[in-house]
């Protein structure tokens, strides 16, 4: 699956462009900014400072989310099996994954690991193996956040069915995400749903979206799990 992204990488922004996606949020910048808001709010709510933390983004693609988050963490790093996607990354530590289920970093070297819109491109048989690796690179007490498309949101389903890069996508529900995390020895403890409101409304009434983050119909979700 990763090799496909080598082909998409030269024209990635164009290939994820879709009229429904664009009328909801414009280009990728809004979607990345929304995720950054979500993650920083998660740590603020838990009373945890991100400034001393090392963050790894698995399947970082072209590194846009890491670029946004860099000022908030002591170290940001990414990895991806697609050399084509990584070739667009600038000014961020990235490494190519040797395979779909191996991460090129030392054990217990990160406090926070994310995988954003990655698992629906990972075949179901390999999801627990990849998550075992997430657990290996996390320090004890570290957190994994899997961010995924929500298959119960009809707009998400429609966009996924239209966007070329998602032609082989196999969406997973938040329940499946938590099952994968548990099977890899992590402890799921919170799920937040987001992307209910289109960009102009979110900019005016983002607090409303935050109030309903427990309601499982948002366009995407973040399934947080702890490394014991
Ligand atoms: C839809 S893109 C998302 C990129 C980035 N996370 C973002 O949100 O913009 C999916 C990415 O997952 C990567 N990917 C696919 N299989 C993977 C795997 N087994 N492990 C890590 N990354 C993988 C692809 O190469 C691609 O860069």
Q: Residues 9-64: pLDDT tens digits? A: 777 666 667 777 777 777 788 999 999 999 999 999 999 999 999 999 999 999 99
The verdict on pTM exceeding 0.85 is yes
Sole residue written with tokens 């693609």: 61
Q: Report the sign of the C-alpha dihedral through residues 79, 70, 120, 42, in that order.
A: positive
CA-based diameter of the chain, in Å? 44
Cβ atoms of residues 80 and 97 within 8 Å: yes
Q: How much distance in Å is there from the Cα of 74 to the middle of ligand 1?
A: 23
Tell me the pLDDT of the chain averaged across its residues: 93
Q: How much distance in Å is there from the Cα of 156 to the middle of ligand 1?
A: 18
Binning pLDDT at 50, 70 and 90, where does residue 178 land? very high
Q: What is the pLDDT of residue 24?
A: 79
Q: Is the CB of 34 inside a 6 Å radius of any atom of ligand 1?
A: no
Condensed to tens digits (0 to 9), the pLDDT of residues 79-136 reads 999 999 999 999 999 999 999 999 999 999 999 999 999 999 999 999 999 999 999 9
* Rounded Cα gap, residues 33 and 30, in angstroms: 5
Ligand 1 atom closest to residue 115's alpha carbon, by position in its atom list: 6
Q: Is the CB of 118 inside a 6 Å radius of any atom of ligand 1?
A: yes
Q: Is the CB of 127 inside a 6 Å radius of any atom of ligand 1?
A: no
């Amino acid at each position: 699956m990763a090799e496909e992204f080598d082909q998409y990488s030269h024209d990635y922004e164009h290939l994820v462009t879709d009229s429904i996606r664009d009328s909801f949020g414009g280009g990728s910048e809004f979607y990345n900014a929304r995720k950054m808001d979500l993650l920083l709010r998660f740590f603020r709510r838990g009373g945890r400072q991100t400034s001393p933390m090392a963050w790894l983004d698995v399947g970082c693609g072209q590194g846009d989310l890491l670029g946004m988050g860099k000022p908030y963490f002591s170290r940001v790093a990414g990895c991806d099996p697609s050399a084509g996607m990584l070739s667009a990354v600038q000014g961020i530590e990235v490494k190519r994954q040797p395979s779909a289920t191996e991460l090129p970093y030392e054990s217990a070297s990160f406090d926070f690991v994310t995988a954003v819109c990655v698992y629906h491109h990972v075949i179901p048989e390999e999801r627990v193996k990849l998550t075992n690796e997430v657990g290996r690179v996390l320090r004890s007490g570290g957190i994994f956040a899997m961010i995924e498309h929500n298959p119960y949101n009809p707009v998400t389903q429609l966009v996924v069915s239209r966007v070329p890069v998602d032609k082989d996508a196999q969406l997973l529900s938040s329940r499946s995400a938590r099952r994968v995390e548990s099977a890899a020895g992590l402890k799921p403890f919170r799920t937040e749903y987001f992307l209910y409101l289109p960009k102009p409304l979110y900019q005016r009434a983002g607090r409303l979206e935050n109030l309903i983050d427990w309601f499982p119909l948002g366009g995407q979700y973040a399934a947080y799990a702890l490394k014991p």
